[in-house]
Amino acid sequence: MDMQNAPALPAVTRREDYHPPEWMVPEVELDFDLDPAKTRVRATLRVERNGAHREPLKLDGAGQQPVRVLVDGVAVNNWRLEGERLVVPLTGEAHTVETEVEIEPEKNTQLMGLYASGGILCTQCEAEGFRRITYFPDRPDVLATYRVRMTADKARFPVLLANGDPVAQGEADNGRHWAEWHDPFPKPSYLFALVAGDLQANRDEFVTQSGRTVQLGIWVREADLPRTDHALHALKVSMAWDERVYGREYDLDVFNIVAVDDFNFGAMENKGLNIFNSRYILADPDTATDYDYDAIAAVVAHEYFHNWSGNRVTCRDWFQLSLKEGFTVFRDQGFSADQGSPAVNRIEGVRGLRAAQFPEDAGPLAHPVRPESYIEISNFYTATIYNKGAELIRMMSIILGPQKFRAACDLYFQRFDGTAATCEDFVRCMEEAGGVDLSQFRLWYAQAGTPRVQASVEHEGGRATLRLAQHVPPTPGQPVKEPMVIPLKVKLFGAETAKPLTDERLVLLKDPAETVVFDGVVERPVLSINRGFSAPVIIESDRSAADLGFLSANDDDPFARYEAMQQLMLDTLVADAVEGDRSGHEAVVAAVANTLDDAERDPAFVAEAVLLPSESFIGDQLSVVDPEAVFRAREGLRAALGGKLEERWRGLYDGEREPYAYTPRAKGLRRLRNVALGYIAASGAGDADKLAFTQFEAADNMTDRMGALTTLASGASDLREAALDIFYNRYRDNALVLDKWFQTQALSSRDDTAAQVAELARHPDFTLANPNRARSLVGAFGVNQRAFNGASGEGYRFLAEQLIALDKLNPQTAAKLLPPLGRWRRFDAGRAKLMRAELERIVATPGLSKDLFEQASKSLE
């Protein structure tokens, strides 16, 4: 495998070096003789010289050798290899170039290109996997139509799928059969896909707004068919939503989704043939939690929405990745918000941003939404590209307002349909259709780092003055920043009357410091700012605990109530972690008690609002993270809330319930009840473990079962082992559920978690070869702040060892799990030294992939 031979200093690709392709490839024909051991691929490329130049045709390749090369039907031998590139001299303006290669899918452990997963042959080409299948200009600005022929053993691979529409099929010799597919829409090679396997489809139809009928199919192994209804339903709802909200209609006669167990990411939007990690397809109440159900709908929607934002309009180069990913995340967030509670959806989105993107933006791997350079593009499928990218689209939608934003999207789709576009193209459409100047806004694409905004209000003689100041911290390669334009939704509430004193106002903060005046403010105002999280920034305000408690009760925007509560909790927890000051407990208890009054009306919201910030988010507030102090502070406040409000939690626990259904209300009640169980356990009540175990045994759905198991897994009773054993024995044959078993233990708050995790890594069911399994243990452990950052450094050593082993199989997945080691600057000197030592050990490993090299070496800088 060539990854193993990566040079000591791998090459850097830079955005400024972009040049248009020398040769275009308007048409491709692929002929696959499929076999897991040896697959022969014949590719016929119609190539056209692009512009006046005399350059030869250069085709990317990786891991294969050309068996033969033909130009215009004649075998040639004047080709050469430059590194892994195939260079073919050509004299004319247009030619037909044919290549033949052999590849070995069953040996492909990195899961890029053509590989085998549980007896299914499938492909993953984004970003640069197509070159592992055949020689091709493997860059997103070379768009071709594809005709694909597959021949395979009929018994092992009765189903043969590819992009576009099926054209023909037939029998071949030796028990083999063939199928041909044609995709009429020009697409880049990263959207190519094929699947061969013994699959069954859950089928349906969708009639588009213009009356065309689309055949839908979700393809899985026969045994999994009963768990595909939710995904199929989500697909139909997504198709209707994109028509209604964005005017986007599906364009082929078939839309297929295939689920495979071994997959590096969540799912892939290949044209007409999405391929999914099975965890984002398979669900039934017995095996999937409400959270899983939500995630499945969101990912199905996301991949479907890519058909326009990504496929019909694609990216010119990989620096523009957020053009499709940020926009598509924004679209799937809009979809999810429309399915249930918009406030809860926004809370989840912001929580995710703070858990993954803020730390990335504050650490050694910080990069702009449109990066300037990379070593390995796979490392840039990040929370910044996806989630901060989505926030950028959201800010533009706020600045434009809904009508103009929709007009701008229409303009973008119409102008760039069938082409490979840039982030700049998108912003220009926003400007033109929105009638706004986004010059300063473009800094959001160029500058990394989370802006900080200081906000304070003065009140004098009927006038409130809001003082704002912004600061964008330095990030790697960007020591000095320019001020950004920051859209802040603000509103003032009267401290006495608890009534709004103003309408919600959109303030565009543009200068380093600005003041905003509100007149007619007759009582002391309390500031509600960044409402709905209108900008992805950190607000630093001097609002008192009393004012935050007031907002958590009285703000008329539920998201703002949540934010006020979080800030109140955070201030309290930081005071404890830093100075052992627990005087803030009382205010938090009062605010939570007050919020619980709403439990009947809006259980889903209340369940979110009463949750404490995560340990790592608390750690992010400290100048030096003290994981033990953070843990103690958080446990202390949990115990106070549990104990002081025990009656309330018990009341909720024993209160309203609904039979299992995946509806917003039933979901909310389940969530709240599981949160209540957690607080009862935190109170130290003697019967908590029994309560949890009873729930565990009686549960008729995975949400309640996991809620109970999560509480037990952090506890000390014998019932913990009993529950874990029962769970294991019941689900040992279901990989996705077994992942939960590993994950819960890796996330446990027990003192012995690091040791338990090390032991679980030797469990017969643990394997690094399956990315979901690797993430469920190694990934989960990395985000367990206290367990991972034990002062002995055993957690760091464990992670480094796992990553070095995983890198040999699957560099992409290994690199994704590295970031916890890169937080060394945030910790004390002792821990920092231990973490650096592990990073250095990784960098010095012979044969390291460029994926892991880039992450580890950047983390040391």
| Residues annotated catalytic, as ranges | 303
Query: Residue 381 binds which entry of ligand PHE, Zn ion, none, with Cβ cut-offs from 5 to 8 Å by kind?
Result: ligand PHE
Task: Rank residues 124 and 534 by Cβ distance to ligand PHE and give the closer one.
Answer: 124
Cβ atoms within 10 Å, residue 158: 14
Segment lying near ligand PHE (by CB under 6 A), choices 266-274, 446-454, 484-492, 788-796: 266-274
Query: Which positions from 287 to 316 touch ligand PHE by CB under 6 A, shown as an x/- string?
Result: ---------------xx-------------
The candidate with the shortest Cα–Cα distance to 739, out of 114, 263, 233, 383, is 263
Task: Rank residues 119 and 266 by Cβ distance to ligand PHE and give the closer one.
Answer: 266
Task: Rank residues 131 and 831 by Cβ distance to ligand PHE and give the closer one.
Answer: 131
Query: Residue 265 binds which entry of ligand PHE, Zn ion, none, with Cβ cut-offs from 5 to 8 Å by kind?
Result: ligand PHE
Instruction: Report the amino acid identity of residue 568.
Output: L
Q: How far apart are CA 56 and CA 85, in angstroms?
A: 12
**Site size for ligand PHE, by CB under 6 A?**
12
Q: What is the DSSP letter of 612?
A: P
Q: How far apart are CA 300 and CA 269, in angstroms?
A: 9
User: Nearest approach, Cβ of 109 to ligand PHE (angstroms)?
Assistant: 15
Task: Rank residues 267 and 423 by Cβ distance to ligand PHE and give the closer one.
Answer: 267
Q: Does 126 bind ligand PHE (CB under 6 A)?
A: yes
Shortest-Cβ-distance residue relative to ligand PHE? 265
In order of 90, 174, 716, the CA distances from 95 in angstroms are 8, 35, 72
Task: Rank residues 242 and 608 by Cβ distance to ligand PHE and give the closer one.
Answer: 242
Task: Rank residues 323 and 645 by Cβ distance to Zn ion and give the closer one.
Answer: 323
707-739 as b/e, with b when 16 or more CB fall inside 10 Å? bbbbbbbbbeeebbeebbeebeeebeeebbbbb
Q: Does 265 bind ligand PHE (CB under 6 A)?
A: yes
Query: Residue 277 binds which entry of ligand PHE, Zn ion, none, with Cβ cut-offs from 5 to 8 Å by kind?
Result: none
Task: Rank residues 264 and 552 by Cβ distance to ligand PHE and give the closer one.
Answer: 264
Task: Rank residues 328 and 745 by Cβ distance to Zn ion and give the closer one.
Answer: 328
User: Nearest approach, Cβ of 345 to ligand PHE (angstroms)?
Assistant: 19
Q: How far apart are CA 752 and CA 777, in angstroms?
A: 15
Which positions from 774 through 803 interact with Zn ion, judged by CB under 5 A?
A: none
User: Nearest approach, Cβ of 329 to ligand PHE (angstroms)?
Assistant: 8
Q: How far apart are CA 362 and CA 825, in angstroms?
A: 10
Beta-carbon contacts of 185 under 8 Å, excluding residues fewer than 6 positions away, are: 145, 164, 251, 252, 271, 311, 312, 418
Q: How far apart are CA 687 and CA 395, in angstroms?
A: 48
Question: Token match 């044959």: residue?
Answer: 733
In order of 201, 204, 282, 678, the CA distances from 228 in angstroms are 9, 12, 6, 31
Segment lying near Zn ion (by CB under 5 A), choices 327-335, 615-623, 628-636, 690-698: 327-335
Segment lying near ligand PHE (by CB under 6 A), choices 3-11, 267-275, 660-668, 851-859: 267-275
- For ligand PHE, which residue of 262, 269, 431, 615 counts as binding (CB under 6 A)? 269
Cα 655 to the chain's mean position, in Å? Answer: 35
Cβ atoms within 10 Å, residue 91: 9
Segment lying near ligand PHE (by CB under 6 A), choices 151-159, 259-267, 568-576, 837-845: 259-267
Query: Residue 98 binds which entry of Zn ion, ligand PHE, none, with Cβ cut-offs from 5 to 8 Å by kind?
Result: none
User: Nearest approach, Cβ of 267 to ligand PHE (angstroms)?
Assistant: 5
Query: Residue 147 binds which entry of ligand PHE, Zn ion, none, with Cβ cut-offs from 5 to 8 Å by kind?
Result: none
User: Nearest approach, Cβ of 734 to Zn ion (angstroms)?
Assistant: 27
Query: Residue 317 binds which entry of ligand PHE, Zn ion, none, with Cβ cut-offs from 5 to 8 Å by kind?
Result: none
Segment lying near Zn ion (by CB under 5 A), choices 104-112, 319-327, 373-381, 800-808: 319-327
Segment lying near ligand PHE (by CB under 6 A), choices 33-41, 258-266, 478-486, 646-654: 258-266
Question: Token match 């799928």: residue?
Answer: 161
Query: Residue 267 binds which entry of Zn ion, ligand PHE, none, with Cβ cut-offs from 5 to 8 Å by kind?
Result: ligand PHE
Q: Does 221 bind ligand PHE (CB under 6 A)?
A: no
Instruction: Identify whether the C-beta of residue 615 lies closer than 8 Å to the C-beta of residue 573.
Output: no
Q: How far apart are CA 127 and CA 110, in angstroms?
A: 13
The candidate with the shortest Cα–Cα distance to 754, out of 715, 719, 785, 729, is 785
Three-state DSSP at 230 gives helix
Q: Does 381 bind ligand PHE (CB under 6 A)?
A: yes
Q: Does 28 bind ligand PHE (CB under 6 A)?
A: no
Q: How far apart are CA 197 and CA 150, in angstroms?
A: 12
Task: Rank residues 29 and 303 by Cβ distance to ligand PHE and give the closer one.
Answer: 303
Query: Residue 360 binds which entry of Zn ion, ligand PHE, none, with Cβ cut-offs from 5 to 8 Å by kind?
Result: none
Sheet holding 452-460, edge to edge: 513-519, 463-471, 452-460, 538-541
Cβ atoms within 10 Å, residue 693: 22
Q: Does 124 bind ligand PHE (CB under 6 A)?
A: yes
Q: How far apart are CA 645 and CA 593, in angstroms?
A: 7
Instruction: Identify whether the C-beta of residue 571 lies closer than 8 Å to the C-beta of residue 586.
Output: no
Query: Residue 559 binds which entry of Zn ion, ligand PHE, none, with Cβ cut-offs from 5 to 8 Å by kind?
Result: none
- As to burial, measured by CB atoms within 10 angstroms (0-12 exposed, 13-18 middle, 19+ buried), residue 752 is exposed
User: Nearest approach, Cβ of 125 to ligand PHE (angstroms)?
Assistant: 8
Task: Rank residues 385 and 688 by Cβ distance to ligand PHE and give the closer one.
Answer: 385
Question: Token match 């009429």: residue?
Answer: 184
Beta-carbon contacts of 357 under 8 Å, excluding residues fewer than 6 positions away, are: 382, 383, 384, 387, 388, 536
Q: Does 271 bind ligand PHE (CB under 6 A)?
A: no
Q: Which two tokens stand for residue 104?
A: 């070995």
Q: Does 325 bind ligand PHE (CB under 6 A)?
A: yes
Per CB under 5 A, residues contacting Zn ion are 325, 328
Per CB under 6 A, residues contacting ligand PHE are 124, 126, 264-269, 302-303, 325, 381
